Amino acid sequence: MEFIFDRLIPSFPLFDRKTFMERYSRQYPVKCSEDPAWYACLNVCFAIASIIRKEDLPGNSPPSGNSPSPEAWKIWRGGRWLRNAASTFVDLQFGPPSLLAYRHWLD
C-alpha cells in the first residue's frame, strides 16, 4: 500500500493516506460481504500496484519459462484484482450509499 501512496495517490488523491492506512491495518483482509466498497477499493489499489510495480507483490509467484511475456504477466496479475473489484458492482449500485462506493466508481 505504501507503493500506491508514494507513486499513484499524489497524482490522483482519492484517499487520505493516514485514514486509509489505519483502516487497512485494522480491516485487512476483508471479505466482500462485510464491506463491498472497501473490498472494491482495496482490489483496485492492488490491481494498479501489480500492473505498474516492477517487483512482485506478496503472494505472487514469478512466471515460469512457458508463461506469457513479463508485460502480459503484469496485466494478468492486475486482472485478477480487477475481477475481484468488479464482483462488487451490483452490491455498490443497489446497496446503501457510501463515500467509498463513490470513490470506487472513480477508480
The one-digit pLDDT tens for each residue of the chain (107 residues) are 788 888 877 777 778 889 888 989 998 888 888 888 889 889 888 888 887 775 544 554 555 555 556 666 555 667 888 888 889 888 888 888 777 776 666 65
Predicted pLDDT of residue 65: 53
Q: Is the dihedral of CA 48, 50, 53, 59 positive or negative?
A: positive
Predicted pLDDT of residue 73: 57
Predicted pLDDT of residue 64: 52
Q: Are 3 and 53 in contact (CB under 8 A)?
A: yes
Q: pTM to 2 decimals?
A: 0.67
Q: Where are the domains of the chain?
A: 35-56+68-107
Predicted pLDDT of residue 72: 62
Q: At what angle do helices 36-52 and 99-106 cross, to 10 degrees?
A: 30
- Name the grid cell of 82: 480487477
Which residue shows C-alpha cell 500496484? 49
Which residue shows C-alpha cell 466508481? 105
Predicted pLDDT of residue 75: 59
Predicted pLDDT of residue 15: 82
